[in-house]
Structure 1
């Protein structure tokens, strides 16, 4: 990364990072978006599997597989390039606690962007995919605002997500062969736990 890029990265960070006297409501919103909303995206995948269109489950499996690959790519990139977090170099204002570790790329950003883009690419859910992708933009802002990441971390996450969402579309057909097996395991687990079919529909009941 060139000196010019690093300088631009820091300049944009300072523009988006919280001020010395931020408004409490904005800080609360950023904390909610940066953590709780990310958890919400994970729960959305569970909800789409349990109560969504069962014919889309192969696409959901491909989305999940692509997300795992994307997070693995993050780990590889983290080994190739080390970037301290803003608070580790005394830059900006930090409004959330975080371990002093590599900032590049952002796992939170990669997770949300990959889920959103993969939902679109696989055809699992275009509307939810657009919404989750928008959440990814909000997560990027929140984590920069809180002083946890630089803009380049979030941008790299979006690039990784874009590449892996393309893989998700390619994964759909081969992963689809495992969908019937996954459905059986899911149905049997629900039966074993005695979850009521009215609340947790079984796949076999829709055949």
Structure 2
């Protein structure tokens, strides 16, 4: 008898009657959104409120720590991917490696939760969190992850998304005095227009 996890996987996994357009959308969601989320952090750093850069940097640090945590969790718990045990349909090429947890979903949800928790960009955080749910669905739909992988990712993301608040002050104190001069020095060295790439306009991390 199949376990609950396997039953849920078979309910979400693409059937032979799945529409090609649905498969195409799932492929875009499964592979492209992590790059869009990373790009969003860059955009918010460059064109967002300079006073919120510490929170943005803390979000990036939290996401990196979450991915490192995934590797540690993966060493402690091995889960073969569905196609490795002959379950369901696989519509996305993937190496036969540990499935638990999902790095893609962990990254998306950690970024989303941290943007909300740190108040760096709460609106965008909710949007990215929603996209993270779609990433989780798409990777199950395409047959490269089990639902339990996504549950683990959500737990890891919740932990590090929450911890991001505690990272903001150390980042502001120790990382930003190095990061911002390097960033703005690079802008000047490349002679990029201040109108297109604004420089820091004020002090503090308490701007509304």
Offset from partner CA, 1:110-132 (integer Å, 9 cap, x none): 00000000001111011000000
Q: Does 1:23 align with 2:23?
A: no
Q: Distance in 1 between matches of 2:110 and 2:176?
A: 20
Deviation for aligned residue 1:186: 0.5
Q: Show structure 1 runs of 5+ residues with no match.
A: none
Offset from partner CA, 1:141-187 (integer Å, 9 cap, x none): 00000001000001100100000111101111111112233111100
Task: Give the alignment's TM-score, normalised by structure 1.
Answer: 0.94
From 5, 8, 28, the counterpart of 1:9: 5
| 2:90 equivalent in structure 1 | 94
Q: Distance in 2 between matches of 1:181 and 1:76?
A: 29
Q: Show structure 2 runs of 5+ residues with no match.
A: 203-208
| 1:45 equivalent in structure 2 | 41
Q: Does 1:68 align with 2:64?
A: yes
From 30, 34, 42, the counterpart of 1:34: 30
Q: Does 1:141 align with 2:118?
A: no
Q: Does 1:168 align with 2:164?
A: yes
Task: Give the alignment's TM-score, normalised by structure 2.
Answer: 0.94
What SS is found at the alignment partner of 1:158? helix
Q: Does 1:185 align with 2:149?
A: no
From 111, 114, 120, the counterpart of 2:116: 120
| 2:205 equivalent in structure 1 | none
What SS is found at the alignment partner of 1:101? coil
The alignment yields a C-alpha RMSD, in angstroms, of: 1.2
Structure 1 stretches of 4+ with a deviation exceeding 6 A read none
Q: Distance in 2 between matches of 1:124 and 1:150?
A: 32
What SS is found at the alignment partner of 2:143? coil
